[in-house]
Structure 1
Amino acid sequence: MRILLVEDDAMIGTGLQDCLRADGYATDWERDGERASTALRAGVYDLVLLDLGLPNRDGLSVLRELRGRHDRTPVLIATARDAVGDRIAGLDAGADDYVVKPYDPDELLARIRALLRRSAGHAEPAFEHGNVRIDPQTREASVDGAPVTLTAREWAVLQPLIARPGMIYSRAQLEEKLYSWEEEIASNAVEVYVHGLRKKLGHRFIQTVRGVGYVIPKQGGKAVET
């Protein structure tokens, strides 16, 4: 999953970026509102972690513009503005959640998981498909009840696919979930991680739509070409 972090404080931003990447999220970091707005117009993100007090352009303005073009990307406001009026303004502008600094990193990650789950239309925290069970919160996977260990990169490829069964992701789209701006993209990275996932979860768990991309079929759905 890919997150846009919008935070002007260098110390907080560095800590957040490290925390998010350690949890498997490809994270791009912008430090002012105008550049954040440009990034949101140019790229596709699974979630925005947005501060409000930003140079050049206020976070609420960035949020209102995002919602004004009917972009439904989940937005979690993380700010030092703790007045009730500020919270109301943020939520009324279209934010999906609001946390006040200082916050606990584990709680922040839990809120991110909840927003990503809701945006994909899942009420249950765990994902089950045939004999495979995956818990995004704990990063635990099992096949026929036996635990399976996934690497961070395998998880980064798997997460968008299990979030939306039946949706085909191209290699380029999955690469976007794997790497942030400054990271070099390996030419065959997606193929390598999909191969590893198939070995661990079953050959037909992730299927290939030739010339298009990869998909986890919906339960009972038609199998596609592999």
Structure 2
Amino acid sequence: MLLLEDDPILGETLHEMLGEAGYGVEWVRDGQEACELTWQKSYDLYIFDINVPHMSGFDLLEALRNADDTTPALFISAMGDIGAITKGFRVGADDYIKKPFYPEELLLKIEARFLKKGSLITCGKISYNPQNGDVKKEDKVLSLGDVQIALLRLFITNIGRTLSKEVLFDAMEHPSESALRFAINKLKATTDWDIINIRSIGYRIEKC
């Protein structure tokens, strides 16, 4: 995928996170460089910031669509007004995420809507297939509810990262502190994972 983001901190964070999740990512910081790369090679997904040097994300995507490039595209931008969002979709975006956002939100959108990796992701005795959503424990398919599946996906794609309670709440239908603790304990019992509580912040798996 091609990531266009001129903020060095956010760009590095997203580049590292997507790479660890198994995606091949090229990261550039200006629109002209991104434009040149799109003519040199094909990508599975574009992730474009809008206010970037030399050529805006809007102009870049519009030019690509005019050239019959149908690659799925997602905007990430601090421009959150309805006018900007409308323009984003008008020039050909498939989705739009307003900054600030949790990096994990982007990963979930990619997995759910855009790219489906064929390889299994494993952690301990658990394997997860992003292509069909199957979860197995020692080759036995597990039947999990929507919340457990969403939490499992978050943890198994973010090994070694602390997931904030806010991000985890987004995976729940009726989020609360007590409901989250119950859901985490249930997931621990199902997976045998060592999910650590980082007090007042969130949860993490140090390693599989």
Decide: shared fold, TM above 0.5: yes
Q: State the 1:135 CA deviation.
A: 3.5
Q: Which runs of 4+ in 1 moved over 3 A?
A: 133-147
In structure 2, what is the equivalent of residue 112 of structure 1? 110
In structure 2, what is the equivalent of residue 91 of structure 1? 89
Asked if the contact 2:4/2:27 (under 8 Å) is kept, the reply is yes
In structure 1, what is the equivalent of residue 71 of structure 2? 73
Provide closer, same or farther for how the CA distance between residues 116 and 73 of structure 1 changes in structure 2, counting only shifts above 3 A.
Answer: same
With the length of structure 1 as denominator, give the TM-score of the two structures: 0.53
Q: 2:129 aligns with which of 118, 134, 144?
A: 134
Q: State the 1:146 CA deviation.
A: 6.0
> Counterparts of 2:21 and 2:135 in 1: how far apart (Å)?
13
Provide closer, same or farther for how the CA distance between residues 8 and 137 of structure 1 changes in structure 2, counting only shifts above 3 A.
Answer: farther
> Counterparts of 1:37 and 1:140 in 2: how far apart (Å)?
39
Which shows bigger deviation, 109-118 or 61-70?
109-118
> Counterparts of 1:19 and 1:139 in 2: how far apart (Å)?
22
In structure 2, what is the equivalent of residue 63 of structure 1? 61
Code of the aligned partner of 1:49: I
Asked if the contact 1:113/1:137 (under 8 Å) is kept, the reply is no
RMSD over aligned Cα atoms: 2.6
Provide closer, same or farther for how the CA distance between residues 141 and 134 of structure 1 changes in structure 2, counting only shifts above 3 A.
Answer: farther
In structure 2, what is the equivalent of residue 185 of structure 1? none
Asked if the contact 1:74/1:115 (under 8 Å) is kept, the reply is no
- Of structures 1 and 2, the one scoring higher in RCO (CA 8 A, sep 6+) is 1
> Counterparts of 1:144 and 1:33 in 2: how far apart (Å)?
46
With the length of structure 2 as denominator, give the TM-score of the two structures: 0.57
In structure 1, what is the equivalent of residue 42 of structure 2? 44
Code of the aligned partner of 2:93: A
> Counterparts of 1:83 and 1:94 in 2: how far apart (Å)?
17
Q: How many residues align?
A: 132
Q: State the 1:61 CA deviation.
A: 0.6
Provide closer, same or farther for how the CA distance between residues 139 and 78 of structure 1 changes in structure 2, counting only shifts above 3 A.
Answer: farther
> Counterparts of 1:137 and 1:108 in 2: how far apart (Å)?
19
SS of 1:115's partner is helix
> Counterparts of 2:11 and 2:48 in 1: how far apart (Å)?
11
> Counterparts of 1:137 and 1:80 in 2: how far apart (Å)?
33
In structure 2, what is the equivalent of residue 53 of structure 1? 51
Q: State the 1:139 CA deviation.
A: 8.0
In structure 1, what is the equivalent of residue 5 of structure 2? 7
Deviations 1:158-180 (A, max 9, x none): xxxxxxxxxxxxxxxxxxxxxxx
> Counterparts of 2:20 and 2:132 in 1: how far apart (Å)?
14
Structure 2: gaps spanning 5 or more residues: 118-127, 143-208
Percent identical: 34
SS of 1:90's partner is helix
> Counterparts of 2:113 and 2:12 in 1: how far apart (Å)?
22
> Counterparts of 1:50 and 1:141 in 2: how far apart (Å)?
35
